[in-house]
Structure formats: C-alpha cells, structure tokens
Amino acid sequence: MSAKCYLAVDLGASSGRVLAGLFENGKLELEELHRFWNGPVEQDDGLHWGVDQLFTEIKTGLKKGFETYGDAVQAIGVDTWGVDYGLLDADGKLLNDPFHYRDARNDTMMPRVFKIIPQDEIYRRTGLQFMQLNTIYQLFAEVRGDRPELKEAERFLMIPDLFNYFLTGRTINEYTDATTTQLLDAKARTWDLELIRKLGIPGKIFGEIVEPGTVVGTLTPEMQEELGGNAEVVAVGSHDTASAVAAAPLSSKHCAYLSSGTWSLMGLEEPKPIITAESAKYDITNEGGVCNTIRFLKNIGGLWLIQECRRNWVEQGEELGYDQIADLAMAADPFIAFVDPDSQEFAQPCDMPTRVQIACERTGQRVPETKGEIARVVYESLAMRYRAVFQTLEKLHGKRLEALHIVGGGCLNNVLNQFTADALNRPLITGPVEATAIGNMLMQMIAKDDISGLVEGRTMIADSFGTQTLKPESTDAWDKAFERFLAVC
C-alpha cells in the first residue's frame, strides 16, 4: 500500500509552515515543505497582517507538496491563530489587510462595549473569556471609528476561512475559529445576531458555520494551474489550538492540556460548554473543539515574552538562540522576582527586557540585570501562572487532575517544562511537538474516512510520535515561592 499524503498549512502568530503528512500502515510521518516568517506589519493606520505575502508563501509550500507527492495528495487543511478576520466586498475582494490583534485600536473598547451589553450577559451568551483582542472588540472599534470597510463589507471571514476562500472560492466560517470571536451563541453554536446588532455590527456579513471535518470544496481552476495539482480543501479545526488539542493523546479525562507556544492555552476537554458563576468568576473560556468537544481553557501570555526579549537582544547585536537563553536562565539565581505574564504592559511589541525590569522595580522586588536573570524571571513567572490556572481548572473540574499534557513548540523548552512540573507537583507528558499540524491532518483524514474518529486518531498519533514524561523534582521551593507570586500578581 502506497502512502497517502495530507498537506497542512499551519500559521502561528510568529511563523508559518506547510507540512506533508504521509499516512501508511496505520502510522503518520511528517515532512516540512516550507517555513516562513509571520508577524505584524506596521501600516499608516496600525498593525496589520500581510495577507498577500502570507498567501504567496502558502502557495509556495503547497506547490512543493504537489511537485513531490502528485496524485498521492488527498486533501489540504488550513489552521491559524484566532480572533482576526478579513472583510470582503460584494465582488469578493478583500477590502484591506486584516488588523493584527495586538493593534492599539482595541485598547479602550471593552468598557465601551459593556456600557451597551453588560459583561455578565456577554459571558452568559458566549461563554468566552474577556480579552481586548477578541473579535467583538475589534469589530466594535471599526464601528466606533466609522471605518468605510465595515460599511462596504458583504462577508466576514476569519483568517483560515479567508485562505480557504482564496483556494476554493467558497465562503464559510469554520466552527472552532468562529468561537474565538465572542460573537457566537455557545449553546446554540450559531452567530448571536441579537448581540451583534446591539453593537451596530452589520449582521448580514456573518455566513454559514460548518463543523471541522467538512469538505469546503476543491481548488479553483486557477489554483489547480498555479499549484500543479488538485485536492479537496477540508475545514479542519482551523483555530490552531483546536488542532493542537485534537492531536494531544490525553491519558484520561482527568488530564489537563497545555498548548505551549507564542500563547499558552491550558484547559480541559469537555463534552459541552461550562457557563456558571464560578467559570465567569475565573474568566474561563469555552471554545469549540473538534468532534463535538469543548475546549474549557484559559489563555496565558506564553512564550511571547521570551520571543520579544530575544528580538530585542538580536537587534542589539547578540544572536542568541532559544536554547542559549534557556541555558542562561538555568545559570541564574532562582526566584529573584516575578511578573504577571498576562499583564497588558507586555501585550504589544516593546522593549521587553526593560518592561520586565520596570515591572519588578514597581512591585518592590529585586530587579533582574543579566539576560539570564530576565529570562529566568519570565520562565518562573510562566510556571507559576500555569500553577494558578491549573489549580483553578482542578477546582472547577471537581476532581484531582492527574497530569498536564503539553503539546506544541513549547515541548522543546526543557527548562520551562521542568519548572512547570515542579510548580504543579504533577507529571508532565510532552509531545507531539508538531501537534497543530498533526491535528490539522487528523481532521483531513477523518473527512476522507481514513480514520474513524478522535479516539482512533489519537491512538495513531501516540503510536506514530510517542511522548515523554517529566516528573516533579524540587517542589518545596516552588510551594514557598508561590505565595510571593500571588502577592505580586
């Protein structure tokens, strides 16, 4: 039996990849076809995404996939970060480059929205945690700014939906990414048009919502000619965290997951939304998962802080890799200070090392001076934040959580992972690293009837890629330092 090939387009908030998944004899192997940079582009009116350039890079990767595997290519799937969107006019033309979720236009929108619709009502309807980058506040910023694009718009597409449209010519909204907008009725799984219209957002722009695993269509004739092949495009778990969690071979229902990358997302897989006074109190989100699951989770600042530190150090002429930064952190003294990784002061591109120092000074702590000290403060603060969220999830779950399963690029950060195991005093199961792309392929394989469902798919993933387990070590020191972290944050 010859291998079948599935092509996954995986766009994170800092890089993009196109990968091939070769499925044969019940196992999956990956090959990276193309990797490219992704990040905010400064324009006159703020931070945007360079969609044209991103699509050029996507096509480069897909073309290589067809050149290499030809008729073995079964399908294509696209996943990206959440919350951002594009607007199409009546002729199907993209009206402008989509705004980046870190753009400052969102900064004052949340309290203005709450004057129109109370915060508790929004949570009751949507089940989503409150972050100023959510689509609801971005669109309301367009309403407030009287932007012409919103007036001309006939169709609203999230970023992965936009690329599916470019490939197939069909406009759909995939469910998992739609749930990141804070505009979806969490229980009915449809657009909350009453909420949308109360905010002055035109309801006509919101279209059909499809479940992950739905075939969107085949490539347009123009795409077939440009890419040198044809295949069906599948709406996968197009929010990258949905794909990452799909690929997490969770050891039991009493196991939390952490998708670790630019953002960290920690949560539980549940059969239905949990929208209670307690979940509202802790601002826990209910996002759509694949195969009729809910990702009951919390967004955490993540490795963005380290990425920004590295960018600043590189700009200053020191070409430090992430492994070198981790080594410097291990050599620094422990627990000299803590910061809140979720603080808005760290949310936008900035001189991150200086921001960390200022935060420590402001809270009366020892100020980290060296690169290793700054990195250690960030890593330890992330591990402590993970502990706080883990304890909250455990409380809402009602039973002791047995372990934390980490997927994504953060699997490779052994320093942060060991810190996390120590902070939680629970075993950590890591892998697969390429969880998002693998979960993307998993939903393609389900759509094409090569895999029967999520249970079989996760077994296949565990067999194909394996996992590693880290056990907690020096937990007493972390217990003592945790109270200091809570006092600061």
pLDDT at residue 104 in the model: 93
Angle among Cα 312, 314, 319 to the nearest 5 degrees reads 150
Sign of CA dihedral 79, 83, 84, 88: positive
Peptide bond connecting 432 to the previous residue in cis, omega within 30 degrees of 0: yes
Catalytic residue selected from 240, 342, 422, 450: 240
Give 148-189 as a DSSP string.
HHHHH-SEEEEHHHHHHHHHHS---EEHHHHGGGS-EETTTT
pLDDT at residue 1 in the model: 46
The listed CATH number (3.40.50.300, 3.30.420.40, 3.40.50.1220, 3.30.1380.20) that belongs to domain 248-431+452-489:
3.30.420.40
CATH superfamily for 4-240 is: ATPase, nucleotide binding domain (3.30.420.40)
Give 435-475 as a DSSP string.
HHHHHHHHHHHHHTTSS-SHHHHHHHHHHHH--EEE----H
Domains 4-240 and 248-431+452-489 share a fold: yes
Q: Domain-by-domain residue ranges, the chain?
A: 4-240, 248-431+452-489
Closest CA to 121 of 195, 176, 190: 195
Sign of CA dihedral 292, 176, 435, 427: negative
Distance CA 211, CA 190 (A): 11
* pLDDT by 10s per residue, the chain, length 489: 489 999 999 998 889 999 999 999 999 999 999 999 998 999 999 999 999 999 999 999 999 999 999 999 999 999 999 999 999 999 999 999 999 999 999 999 999 999 999 999 999 999 999 999 999 999 999 999 999 999 999 999 999 999 999 999 999 999 999 999 999 999 999 999 999 999 999 999 999 999 999 999 999 999 999 999 999 999 999 999 999 999 998 878 899 999 998 899 999 999 999 999 999 999 999 999 999 999 999 999 999 999 999 999 999 999 999 999 999 999 999 999 999 999 999 988 899 999 999 999 999 999 999 999 999 999 999 999 999 999 999 999 999 999 999 999 999 999 999 999 999 999 999 999 999 999 999 999 999 999 999 999 999 999 999 999 999 998 999 999 999 999 998
The answer to whether 240 is a known catalytic residue is yes
Each residue of 116-171: pLDDT tens digit? 999 999 999 999 999 999 999 999 999 999 999 999 999 999 999 999 999 999 99
Q: What is the pTM (predicted TM-score) of this model?
A: 0.91
pLDDT at residue 176 in the model: 98
**What SS3 state is found at 208?**
coil
Checking DSSP bridges between strand 85-88 and strand 264-270, what pairing results, if any? unpaired
